[in-house]
Amino acid sequence: MAAPALLPGPQWLRGVMLLVLPSLPPFAYWLPLPPLAGAGWLFPGMGYAGVAVYVGMALAIVGCRNAGGKAPQAMMALLIVATVLAAGLNLHAYWHPPRGVAGWQGLQFRSAAPVPQTFEDAAQAMIGLADVVRGSSMPVIVAPENWLGTLPLAAMRSLRAALQPGQHLLVGGIHMHDGTLRKGVWHLPEGTFTPAIAPIPFIEPYPADYARTGSAIDVAGEPASLLVCFEASTSLPLYHLHYGTPVILVANGWWDTLGALSIQRSVARSWARLFASPLLTSEARP
């Protein structure tokens, strides 16, 4: 994506392309670590306006070095204003963080085992999860991505029985949805399945479901934006999150020995900050 920097034309235009192009569809769905993801760290709570200011600030930095005449002074003034704005917004975000959803619990597991490949492995994972659920009094429990493998809903009776009245569980799995095998998240006890929007391209054998971009799920009467692993590392949240709506991130990094999940969580937190949304994560890591 550095190609725009080599194109002829005004420097500001090349800068815009470098910043914005990775966050435009279709690149937005499969290019990780887009430059615009940094907007949430500098301008929390500003939403799309924060993205615009972030781009303007980056272009002003370039302009200060290359523009002639009085332009550098004007751009420096813009930088000072943006810096003061960023400081004020971060102080506000520190003293007034987004209101979390009381009673929602994101489970964190240590596991170096791959996603369950057989029915027996999936059933064993379900039994272990049922024990955890049985010992929790939280009204909403979230378990990691692909935790149940291809375990069918009919085989989740003991897991559903472990839930107390009014208690809800979101857990990652793989399901034949609309005639196609998809990864996503089960919602119990309802038994509904929400497919992932953008699985890892060229690696995961599951189709994308871009039509679901921007749709929220209902969790115990509260709307929430669901991100499944890789989605949080791209620009998809820019089109998917809703201002002030809780964000749920489920991931499974049983393979991660280099800290990829930590980077992904940081990007997700930046997107959530941009939209003043609380972030709840559930991960499995070695």
* Domain 104-285 in this protein, CATH class: alpha beta
Q: Where are the domains of the chain?
A: 3-95, 104-285
Phi, psi of 95 (to 5 degrees): -80, -25
83-113 pLDDT, tens digit per residue, is 999 999 999 999 999 988 888 999 999 988 8
User: Distance (Å, rounded) from C-alpha 239 to C-alpha 19?
Assistant: 16
Q: How many helices (H) and strands (E) does the chain have?
A: 9, 10
Q: Would you say how long the chain is, in residues?
A: 286
Q: Is 216 exposed, middle or buried (0-12, 13-18, 19+ CB in 10 A)?
A: middle
Sign of torsion over alpha carbons 54, 90, 48, 28 = positive
Backbone angles phi, psi at 280, to 5 degrees: -120, 125
Report how far residue 238's alpha carbon sits from residue 133's, in angstroms, rounded to the nearest whole number.
33
Residue 264 identity: Q
d(CA 226, CA 184): 10
What mean pLDDT is predicted for residues 250-268?
A: 94
* Phi, psi angles (nearest 5°) of residue 5: -70, -20
Q: Name the pTM for this structure.
A: 0.91
- How much is the average pLDDT of 133-160? 95
For residue range 110-133, list pLDDT tens digits in order: 988 888 989 999 999 999 999 999
Percent pLDDT > 70 in the chain is: 92
Return the axis-axis angle of helices 48-66 and 71-95, rounded to nearest 10°. 150
pLDDT in tens, 210-234: 999 999 999 999 999 999 999 999 9
Q: Does the pLDDT value for residue 8 go beyond 70?
A: no
β-pairing, 247-252 vs 222-228, is parallel
User: Is 32 in a helix, a strand, or coil?
Assistant: coil
CB atoms within 10 A of CB 161: 11
Give the CA angle between residues 150, 154, 155 to the nearest 5°: 65
Cα 177 from Cα 160, distance rounded (Å): 20
